[in-house]
Amino acid sequence: MPAPTGSIPVVDLVLRGGRISTFADPEQGAREVEAIAVAGGRVVAVGSDAELAAHAELAERVIELDGRRVIPGLNDSHIHAVRGGVSWTRTVHWEDVRSIGDGLELIRKDAARRGPGEWVSVVGGWHSSQLAEGRAPTRAELDAVAPDNPVYVQELYDLGVLNSAGLAVCGWTDSSDDPARGRLDRDDDGRLTGRIHGVGAFSVPLAVALDADAAESEDGVRAMFAAFARHGLTGVVDGGGLLVTPRDYDPIYAVWRRGELDVRARIFLSAWTRGGEVADIEQLTALLQPESGDGMLRIAGIGEIPHLGCHDMEGLDPFTLTDQSHAELVEIVRLCAERGWRMSIHAVLDYTLGRILDAWERVEEETGLVAGRGFSIVHADEASRDNLGRLARLGAGVLVQSRLVLKGSDYVAVWGEEATTAAPPIGDLRELGIPVGGGTDATRANWFSPWSAIWWLVTGGTLDGVGIRGERHRMSREQAIAAYTRDAAWFTGETGHRGRLLPGYDADLCVPTLDPFACSDDELRDILSDLTVMDGRITHDSGALAANR
């Protein structure tokens, strides 16, 4: 769809000679074109090379694709980027580590770089199933590679391991009591092993290991988004998270104010005061207006934890939502509905989902302000057909994440093989017409790679080959990429200008290192981006594509 004759604008960028997937609906235009022209942060034309020849003549830069595939920029519809960014440069990243030896070598190098006495940390984003040894490192192994540094290694939200120096800085000795909401492992003689469990225990080393000043936190945000752009990400939807406070957003706001964001951020705000959740949400919704922000950073809604008492964690432990917590959740839903806020709530278990739907339906019956307002559920891994029917009647969506890539065995052990192969029930979601957004739930609970999540949506696979999702609940490659582009835009109310490559849409795109529609399944999981463009500007360039000018 080239611009009409006589109205061709001066163009910032033209990509031509490619196979560009527009994700257009039939009435919008062609689903694949050769060329695309970008100006002022928007797509101005798509079509054949011949149709866009005049645009190329006026373009500041022209890139020859030589038959390469182009897709809309990827948008992780549920990730914890705000929390991850502030500590990105203070942590060692193990997403690509495949043995304990390799992981320990990264810790050794980081300790040498930082110097004695400085914390060295690996905070989530990895699991024992990805390591050849199938286990976490020990206190003794951490002592051996970094004896002069406190070291903390956290495996997702399952386990933390401290070395001897780390235990000492945390103030834990063999005679210490367990922290509230946490546990310290001991050997048969009562000595600390260095292994810790539970958010109450994790919070102690995290508070000191990740402490950073404003400048370092802002550097972390920029570094994290540069890593995301290398994978083809042009957008993230941040889900708030456990005890994330308003001040934790200062670094990303600072980077945004300076115009330095390389990835669009959409933010859901969570409650942060246990026992004071209603007051938290009342204050947030009174001080902020829905959709505050701009095209780079915008407040998307309330969630994923509007009430800490309604959070069933990973769905692997028994959970009960008390009547008091439920009554307060109803009050919070009412506040959001009456003040025009979108809501997204974490629910892994079908029991939790049912209780949340009770709250939504009650407020809908009272106010008529929930159905069709873009509410969504995060995870819904155990959702029953009945509860999915209730979601469909409310016009709500479901955000699914690839957490089971790393933890298939854990879910089979608790839920059983049959239930795990239908987690989440993507086939039912699609059959009922429920919008589905793809994501990772990273940066602590999973890998952040969008292509590993797309691989999981397509194959249902897990690293250990246990708990593979059944074929009915898998997606085609086109559907999976749509869940990361076109469909992800639904959850932030941006379907009219994001997630497609059509005139008037945001100029967000990537050129994957391999054609995701033609490569093997194994290759699909490891794709990166050779060129990522966000808002019309290049945010990552591997140098693999030639430019005429």
Angle between helices 350-367 and 323-338 (to 10 degrees): 50
**pLDDT tens per residue across span 410-448:** 999 999 999 999 999 999 999 999 999 999 999 999 999
- Are 267 and 399 contained in the same domain? yes
Band (pLDDT 50/70/90 cuts) for residue 243 is: confident
In a domain, 502, yes or no: no
In a domain, 194, yes or no: yes
> With 60 as the cut, is the pLDDT of residue 408 above it?
yes
> With 90 as the cut, is the pLDDT of residue 10 above it?
no
Band (pLDDT 50/70/90 cuts) for residue 3 is: low
Selection from 346, 354, 341 nearest residue 389 by Cα: 354
One DSSP character per residue, 345-399 reads EEE-SHHHHHHHHHHHHHHHHHHS-STTS--EEEE-TT--HHHHHHHHHTT-EEE
> With 70 as the cut, is the pLDDT of residue 198 above it?
yes
> With 80 as the cut, is the pLDDT of residue 303 above it?
yes
Q: At residue 471, what is the residue type?
A: E
- Are 218 and 173 contained in the same domain? no
Cα 192-193-199 angle, rounded to 5 deg: 85
In a domain, 84, yes or no: no
The CATH number linked to 120 is 3.10.310.70
Residue 508 and residue 234 in contact, taking contact as beta carbons nearer than 8 Å? yes
- Are 219 and 205 contained in the same domain? no
CA distance linking residue 126 with residue 193, whole number of Å: 21
Number of domains in the chain: 3
Selection from 487, 477, 534 nearest residue 510 by Cα: 534
470-497 average pLDDT score = 98
Bridge partners of 302, per DSSP, are 269, 343
- Are 139 and 276 contained in the same domain? no
Domain final position from 193, 209, 225: 209
One DSSP character per residue, 62-101 reads EEE-TT-EEEEPEEEEEE-HHHHHHTGGGB---TT--SHH
Which of helix, strand or coil describes residue 118? Answer: coil
CA distance linking residue 442 with residue 266, whole number of Å: 15
- Are 263 and 294 contained in the same domain? yes
In a domain, 311, yes or no: yes
> With 70 as the cut, is the pLDDT of residue 4 above it?
no
- Are 48 and 137 contained in the same domain? no
pLDDT for residue 193: 98
pLDDT for residue 9: 74
**pLDDT tens per residue across span 121-172:** 999 999 999 999 999 999 999 999 999 999 999 999 999 999 999 999 999 9
Band (pLDDT 50/70/90 cuts) for residue 242 is: confident
- Are 41 and 164 contained in the same domain? no
Residue 401 and residue 379 in contact, taking contact as beta carbons nearer than 8 Å? yes
310-325 average pLDDT score = 96
- Are 185 and 295 contained in the same domain? no
In a domain, 20, yes or no: yes
pLDDT for residue 548: 76
> With 90 as the cut, is the pLDDT of residue 92 above it?
yes
pLDDT for residue 7: 63
CA distance linking residue 295 with residue 506, whole number of Å: 9
Least confident of 23-32, 178-187, 241-250, 320-329: 241-250
In a domain, 87, yes or no: no
CA distance linking residue 165 with residue 286, whole number of Å: 45
pTM: 0.96
- Are 333 and 274 contained in the same domain? yes
- Are 347 and 365 contained in the same domain? yes
Domain final position from 209, 226, 241: 209
pLDDT for residue 546: 81
pLDDT for residue 547: 76
In a domain, 3, yes or no: no
The CATH number linked to 42 is 2.30.40.10
> With 60 as the cut, is the pLDDT of residue 461 above it?
yes
Query: 461 is in which domain, residue-wise?
Result: 214-497
The CATH number linked to 384 is 3.20.20.140
Q: How far is CA 461 from CA 407, 452, 455, 468, in A?
A: 11, 10, 8, 5
What's the whole-number average pLDDT of the chain? 96
- Are 222 and 125 contained in the same domain? no
pLDDT exceeding 90 applies to what percent of the chain?
97
12-31 average pLDDT score = 97
201-206 average pLDDT score = 97
- Are 168 and 247 contained in the same domain? no
Cα 167-173-176 angle, rounded to 5 deg: 115
Domain final position from 209, 225, 260: 209
In a domain, 55, yes or no: yes
Which pair of structure tokens corresponds to residue 337?
């509905």
